[in-house]
Amino acid sequence: MRRYVERYYPSDAALRSDVHLNVWFDALVRGIRHFVPDLTRDALTDLCVLLMYSASVGHTENSLLNYAVFLPTTVRLDGGQQSVGEVQNIVNFQLLIATPTSLLLNDVSHLALDEAAAGLMRQFRQDLLDFQEEMDAQPSQYWQLFPREIEAGVSC
């Protein structure tokens, strides 16, 4: 992440001159000022890592992957069965929120803004692959979460 941030912002002054980034940051300030007191390259890196963690490790490791238990049970007043449409809505909801769409180890460098940034994204992926190899060589622990298992996103 640091290499990617530094690719576009060679200094904190360059980062502060990005109007769009500062608008985004100012919108987040109310909720995260305690986490990041000032916008610096280190702070931007921390924010990006937090977002990546929340969308990948946080979702992979901290979700039940079965959200049906959170769906309210409804019983019709007349005691009849739910309609096909009601059941389909529940199934659709289940698929939308629980279907992995991309793994962290997938190559998404085509999303980069330019070729240099794409190279940094490929290097990040290679770092993860190297780390995966390193973890594979060690005795397995029940609490380990391997890079190859982490979802980069879900469909919701």
Provide the pLDDT confidence category of residue 156 given band limits of 50, 70 and 90. Answer: very low
Strand partners, 102: 153
Asked whether the beta carbons of 154 and 97 are under 8 A apart, the reply is: yes
Angle in degrees, CA 125, 128, 129, rounded to 5: 90
Q: Which residues of 134-152 are buried (b: 16+ CB within 10 A; e: fewer)?
A: eeeeeeeeeeeeebeebbb
Asked whether the beta carbons of 152 and 102 are under 8 A apart, the reply is: yes
* pTM for this predicted structure: 0.56
The predicted-structure confidence for 62-83, as pLDDT tens digits, reads as follows 554 555 555 666 777 888 887 8
The predicted-structure confidence for 109-131, as pLDDT tens digits, reads as follows 999 999 999 999 999 999 999 99
Q: What residues does each domain of the chain span? A: 1-55, 64-156
